[in-house]
A and B are shown apart, each in its own frame.
Chain A
């Protein structure tokens, strides 16, 4: 009798667990899900930067989970007119379809063909490493260039990308986690610190001139993924721009 009880309890737990860990982030009508903070009060963000801790991301077939930073323009007419109704540059790390997590960067440009391009860069540093994610409009040459870097303190990890023909103006910055799919993903706690933004374009002096975020912006947490301020951006540094923490999916 007691054996039957154990079996019933196990079946019940599996059923409840499956329901608890299921989510609706997997098709265009439901949309992806986000645990993010965003800022959009400056006339233009010339660039964005965050220190993002490397966590353990896991995904299953048909979904992905990532931690990343975006610089977005949904206002410039050429961007509002592209298939996504906005331009952006983004960088972070992702676990997609059960594969090992890799660094990536991507852009959405103000054009109708070859709009979205995703660059897969390589395996990430070990769990707990704090990597630096920097992106900035390049004012040193022709218009429409954004430079992106992903690097660690020792520069043993250093990837670079250039978004071209991208005449966007950064109107919004987002940091946090994106989740796609319906079940099976997970992500350990990941901290975003040094949340800062470029106050001018990259010039010949080759400097990212910045201010830190001084308020928490707008927070969206679809639960999952979970995103929240664990140190308010209003707090005096360190860390600069507070500490935003994400995790997924239970």
Chain B
């Protein structure tokens, strides 16, 4: 009698193990036909655009009279490099400082968004000389003969920097180290 109970229990246990498939966690990788791991896609809501803050930039110039002069910018770039630029401040100079709206800055930069209202006033600074920027691993360090900086006329903060025309003579110098 006791043997029968044990045999019955073993049969039931075996049956349960073979009959019930393992419970799937939708987040666990699943094998597809190609042998790759596949997951169910999961939803994540991006934040609402209307609540985004206005970019503030980085402390840079002291502004008086609601304007930024070329002399101020020249002084600034004697001691401050363009963020992420490889070359030294002695390798470039301030070519021009133009007051314009955010919309005009965007137009000047092939549609690059400033993140500001179209009518906000900015100082667009054109810098000339030699600039070298690079990016993520495996990108080439690229040389440019002109670059730009954008300052907020209200408080003198540095809002944007970037490249203008490439220096084709200099070309790409090297591949950034990983």
Contact = CB atoms under 8 A, between A and B. Distances in A.
Contacts of A201: none
Interface in A140-163: 147, 149, 151, 155, 157-163
A139 interface: no
A199 interface: yes
B140 A85 contact: yes
Contacts of A111: 110
B137 A158 contact: no
Interface string A191-229: 000001001101000111111101000001010000000
Interface stretch (B7-15, B62-70, B78-86, B120-128): B78-86
A118 B47 contact: no
Q: How large is the interface on B (under 10, 10 to 19, 20 to 34, 35 or more residues)?
A: 35 or more
Contacts of A102: 57-58
Interface stretch (A1-9, A12-20, A29-37, A242-250): A29-37
Nearest to A68: B136
B163 A114 contact: yes
B49 interface: yes
B148 to A, nearest CB: 8
Q: How large is the interface on A (under 10, 10 to 19, 20 to 34, 35 or more residues)?
A: 35 or more
A161 B157 CA distance: 18
B72 interface: no
Contacts of A97: 80-81, 83
Nearest to B142: A83
Binding site of A, secondary structure by majority: helix, strand, loop or mixed?
strand
Nearest to B81: A97
A36 B177 CA distance: 12
Contacts of B81: 61-62, 97
Contacts of A50: none
A199 B141 CA distance: 31
Contact of A86 (B45, B135, B164, B174): B135
Contacts of A112: 165-166
Contact of B109 (A29, A114, A178): A114
Interface stretch (B16-24, B34-42, B93-101): B34-42
A128 interface: no
A121 interface: yes
23 contacts: A27-B86, A31-B141, A31-B175, A31-B176, A36-B178, A64-B83, A83-B140, A83-B143, A85-B172, A97-B80, A99-B58, A113-B163, A114-B110, A117-B161, A119-B160, A147-B46, A155-B47, A157-B53, A158-B51, A158-B53, A162-B113, A164-B112, A236-B28
